Amino acid sequence: MYQTLINCNVIDGSGSDTIDDAVVELVGERIQWVGRREDWTGSTEDGCVRDMKGAYILPGLWDMHVHLSMTVLKEEGRRDDLPSDTLFSYRRALAFLDAGVTSLRLVGSPPGGMDFALRDGIAAGRYMGPRILTAGQGIASTGGHGYRGDEGCDGPYEFRKAARKRLWEGADLIKIMVTGGMGGRYETYDASQTLADEVRAATEVAHNAGRHVAGHIASPQAAIMCAEAGVNTVEHGYVLDERSLSVMAERGTAYVPTLVVSWDPSYWQELGVASWAMDKIRAVHQPHRRAVELALELGTPMAIGTDLPTAHMDGAIVTVREMEIISELGAQPRDLIGWASTVSADLCGLKGQVGELAPGQMADIIAVPDDPAESISNLRDVRFVMTGGRVVKDLLTRAAPVRLPEGFFTEDC
């Protein structure tokens, strides 16, 4: 199918200046041409032409730290079983897509294969949804963060075996639990739980298979250890300091701060989390903020992730809320857009395939009426969503769009 988007302003995700009065040509699921209308040699008589009404279009966003089935309080009537988790997770995935988050990286899912089934079904086009990359179950030491009483690992041989098992299951990346966290009652959030030889063993297996590694990490010591072992992304980093962030920058290890986790303790209070968890959240509130400020000052590579049990916070999809609060600390909107698109895709091994509005890349495109390079909060108002060349939401180019379940809009040319 041949499509042309006209009357739009393009923010391509690379950090380049906005292309005003632009045209984007699509063939099937991929972008064929992007540029100013005055340089365009095509015709509005060919294929499907969409008048974007002066909107700003940009790559679909990524959220690099998601647990689709995670909740704090069980919804009324929700069963704690695989079918219920699957339906709940799919509904949440659609909420992300509706808000312009077209790619999700799942960094730890419950056993049973729900995450793989969602990924594969969406990729095959059997049902609508965001692109999913999944780590399967996270790899934890015995009694460590995320330990379920079944697959705890001790020593490099067991970590190596667990990583190989995840790859055999079809994981797109490997997730290692390195320190404690907020959700473990009998652990401190920064306690070291995984040793250097264990991290190296799992990381080597992942890299040999062409996969990247995410580490659940709170402390500066653990971040340094993991950066030196080749871990690709440090998740959370609640109390990172200047030295650890500098080492990460030198090694090219990206920081996925999930700052939204500690930004507003009242969010968790309203969800009714236990007092012991609230104590940890309050304890990291200021250090976490300072860690992100330091990362911005030092130029540590960053990507956008959230790790919340709800899809929305303060009236925005959590991914955009994370971008807003990092913006409040001084990050520039155009950088944030790159971290939530091109940088994330590159970290996931998809460089040149998705994440940027450029010829040959997948047509994951969103549109907003107002310039997000002026204010990142303009991403709260996503009017148009396309994934792989397929329009899944359109409040922009049609006078009377048809509402579909889950708040989606779609209409063939």
Confidence (pLDDT) at 79:
66
Asked if the model's pLDDT at residue 297 lies above 80, the reply is yes
400 pLDDT more than 50: no
Quick check: 368 and 7 in contact, CB under 8 A?
A: no
Is a pLDDT exceeding 70 seen at residue 341? yes
Cα 4 to chain centroid distance, Å, stands at 28
**Average per-residue pLDDT for the chain:** 93
Spatial distance between the Cα atoms of 319 and 256, rounded to a whole number of angstroms: 12
**338: closest CA among 72, 5, 13?**
13
Identify the architecture of domain 61-347 in CATH: Alpha-Beta Barrel (3.20)
Beta bridge partner(s), residue 254 = 233
> Average of pLDDT values for 242-269?
97
Which bin fits 53, alpha (ψ -120 to 50), beta or left (φ > 0)?
left
pLDDT, tens only, 345-365: 999 999 999 999 999 999 999
Q: pLDDT tens across 368-384, in order?
A: 999 999 999 999 999 99
- pLDDT tier, 77 (very low <50, low <70, confident <90, very high otherwise): low
For the chain, the straight-line distance linking the first and the last C-alpha, in angstroms and rounded, comes to 10
Higher per-residue pLDDT: 401 or 210 = 210
Residue 30 in 3-state DSSP?
strand
Q: What is the CATH number of domain 2-59+353-407?
A: 2.30.40.10
Residue spans of the domains in the chain: they are 2-59+353-407, 61-347
In whole angstroms, what is the distance from residue 189 CA to residue 126 CA? Answer: 40
8's CB contacts (< 8 A; 6+ apart) are: 22, 23, 24, 52, 54, 55, 56, 57, 367
pLDDT tens digits along 88-130: 899 999 999 999 999 999 999 988 999 999 999 999 999 999 9
pLDDT at 134 over 50: yes
pLDDT score recorded for residue 82: 85
Amino acid at 12: D
Which uninterrupted H or E stretch holds 206? Answer: helix 196-208
pLDDT of residue 409: 38
The reply to whether the predicted model has a pTM over 0.85 is yes
* % of residues, the chain, pLDDT over 70: 95
Contact by Cβ (8 Å): 231, 214 = yes
